Structure 1
Amino acid sequence: MKQRTVSEKLGEFIYKLTYQDLPEEVRDLTKLRILDTLSCAVAGRDLPHSKIASRVAQSSNGKSTIIGCHKKVALPDAVFANGVMIHSIVQDDILSGLVHPGSTVVSAAIGVGEEIGASGTEVLTATVAGYELVGRIMSATGRFSVSSFRPSPILTTFGATAAAGKLMKLSEKQLVNAIGYAASLTPGTPNEVWWSGTMEGMFQAGVSARIGILSVILAKEGATSAPQALEGKDGFFRCWGGSTAKMEKATENLGQDFVISRMRIKAFPVCGANQRPIQIAKPLAEHKLKANDIAKIVERVGTGATSYAGLDFAGPFETQFQALMSMQFCAAAAVLDRPVTSAKFFAEHYNDPEVGELARKVELMEEEGRSLPLLEVHTIDGRIYTTGEEMPDRSIYMPNKENMAGKFRLLCTDFFGEENTSQIIDIIMDMEKMDDVRKLTAKLKG
């Protein structure tokens, strides 16, 4: 008997998955993923890269909503613009400290759901399928063999494909072909953007979401793809991970262990690698030190913690992206008691002269076996202030209802108003009762 390919097993899973298959916890977490991603989009809608994406999208006409915009556009364009906006403040959700599924999965699920008039349960089920594909392909690929590529936009194309394919009611065979196109069309995105501080990283999520839609459309129209697009001798796993050694992880406990249960949120609008360091550094602000009081800051981190593109950068800071990636900038800003929970701070004050001065005094030291960052502030007059070794509060990274509703109110009330903000939260939390997701998208225009 012919052995089934990884794509065939995943295609069957997507095809057969129903809302009834989802545990109650997974259903609730999925609603919170939608709430979270939409809050990020609203918060970043006026940033320069979001405005560019919206203008480009508005060159088309259609039935799909761009968040915060009254003009309806074509589905691929709406999905592109919304994906960009969700990722725009770099505070969208994160998996394994590396990948951001929400920006592509939710933009695709909401976009296609609106296009076809899908029910709330259909959109929720498709969203779960999208997260599954991202997490499972990531686990099966393993560490990327070339570190200069950015994993998130490469992997999240699968999520948009799965969500869109489920909603467009592709057959099992068509879903297999769509997965093959996601594997072959997904963009190879170099990480140089984080050193230059330019905008490419913001558009990548939108492009990946759009490619996911295209992969589904091609498959639905009859386009075929390689049966072993993932595990073949020249397939996706070898291309990006260098081997097929972990390919079984793509289907391990499929339908029992849900990826969405492993998602974490960002407490701060910066790179995932800077979340814990900022959290640990913030208490040092109580000493009310100025940059000219400080001789140096030593930030001790684990082996390899500074190797990702853009992290070990002490300036000069010419864009917000350089600032939010830089371990030196983030540590300095936290010690100086800057509003590091605010995306507006990084967007408008990346060139803060005092933070830039102190960032140049931050020394990054990698230490074997260290799991938690440790910061030491050495003053000009010989005092040393240090953070403790105790485990910081992890609850701020947990996607519970309290955190997500609070974040949505914080980021969205100024735009939607208090009444509409509360209504949108209620709509999403009762999404299983919704017969048409357009009742939600109608509210997102603002």
Structure 2
Amino acid sequence: MKEYTKILADYAAGLKYEELPADVVEQAKKIILHTIAVSIASSNMSPTVNAAAVAAARRSGPDATIWGAKGVRVSPSDAVYANGTAADVLDWEDCTWTGHASAGAIPASFAYGEQKHAGGREVITAIVAAYEVYQRIAMAVQPDFDTYLAQGRGWGLVNWQIFASAVAAGKMLGLDAAQMAACISLAAYQAPTLMGKDGDGDIYHYAHGIAGRSGAESAEITRQGFEYYADGLEGDTGYWLYVSNKCDWD
């Protein structure tokens, strides 16, 4: 079997802005504007206000901005939590058929980009890398309807959300290919396993922020150093087993 985690990690770590087609760059810019706009549009709604308040109360550092919060600055991972929650509150952020990659990729790229004073090209490259990796994992693990979803086992939309922020943060933090594989694997280990019915409550929106922060922290932990676990997507005991009844390895 191929080393899928390594393949994705090599791609994400090695991707350069100069390799991006012009239409991909343009689409990334549109997604950035769209996601930040809907996040600010939700700034007076209770989940956005509450998430921003939680992040601000942690007094975690002045490195990254909470969007629409009158200049409040916190640590990058706390900004990812607050902004990731805000991005999903109106449910209008850019999405794909697998979920809302933008609610993880955009906040993480911006938060860590702000911390390191990165340029726009670096941020856009991180977003594209995050989308590619997120989408390939998410598409591969879609469960069968009749034998899984129809049995009430749920759909792990927020679960694979973690890979968007993990890869975006890892790219902004300069992880090499081996570290990126470890970051993806650690994110798989931290992915939230519960995705049940939430009624008409707000937990679904907070979950996007929480998954975003967990992905960002996967990148931070990897950069700090730990005993690498670098094949989290592989084989019969890989990530897919906990969210689906099948994996499309192609």
TM-score norm. by structure 2 comes to 0.92
Matched, 1:28 2:26: yes
- Aligned CA distance change for structure 1 residues 110 and 66 (closer, same or farther; 3 Å): same
Per-residue deviation, 1:4: 5.0
Counterpart CA distance in 1 for 2:118 and 2:68 is 21
1:38 aligns with 2:43: no
The 8 Å contact of residues 182 and 212 in structure 1, kept in 2 or not, is answered as yes
Counterpart in the other structure of 1:181: 186
Does residue 88 in structure 1 map to residue 89 in structure 2? yes
Counterpart-to-counterpart distance in 1, 2:3 and 2:154: 26
Whole-angstrom CA distance in 1 between matches of 2:155 and 2:75: 28
Q: Is the 8 A contact 1:109 1:163 kept in 2?
A: yes
Matched, 1:125 2:125: yes
2:100 equivalent in structure 1: 100
Distance 1:64 1:150 in 2: 32
Checking the alignment, whether the CA contact within 8 Å between 1:158 and 1:212 is kept in structure 2 is yes
Q: 2:192 aligns to what SS in structure 1?
A: coil
Question: 2:15 aligns to what?
Answer: 17
RMSD between aligned residues: 1.5
Residue 86 of structure 1 aligns with an amino acid whose one-letter code is A
**Distance in structure 1 (CA, Å) of the matches to 2:172 and 2:111:** 10
| 1:201 matched to 2:197 | no
Residue 239 of structure 1, CA deviation? 2.0
Check the 8 A contact 1:148/1:192 in 2, yes or no.
Answer: no
The answer to which of 63-72 and 174-183 deviates more is 63-72
Change beyond 3 A, Cα 1:15–1:58:
same
Q: Which one-letter code corresponds to 1:215 in the other structure?
A: S
Which among 234, 237, 240 is matched to residue 237 of structure 1? Answer: 240
Query: Comparing 220-229 with 198-207, which one deviates more in the overlay?
Result: 220-229
Q: What is the number of residues matched between the two proteins? A: 242
Contact 1:105 1:156 in 2 (8 A): no
- Give distance in 2, aligned partners of 1:149 and 1:200: 15
Q: Please, which runs of 5 or more residues in structure 2 have no aligned partner?
A: none
CA–CA distance in structure 2, aligned partners of residues 230 and 31 of structure 1: 30
The answer as to whether partners of 1:101 and 1:156 remain within 8 angstroms in 2 is yes
Structure 2 counterpart of 1:114: 114
TM-score by length of 1: 0.52
Q: What's the CA shift string for 1:401-428, capped at 9, x where partnerless?
A: xxxxxxxxxxxxxxxxxxxxxxxxxxxx
Gap change, CA 1:94 and 1:71, over 3 Å in 2 = closer
| Higher RCO (CA-CA < 8 Å; seq separation 6+) | 2
Give the Cα separation in 1 of the matches to 2:114 and 2:194: 29
Give the share of equivalent positions with the same residue, in percent. 26
Shift of 1:225: 4.3
| Structure 1 residues not aligned, in runs of 5+ | 249-446
Shift of 1:142: 2.2
1:270-309 pair list within 5 angstroms: none
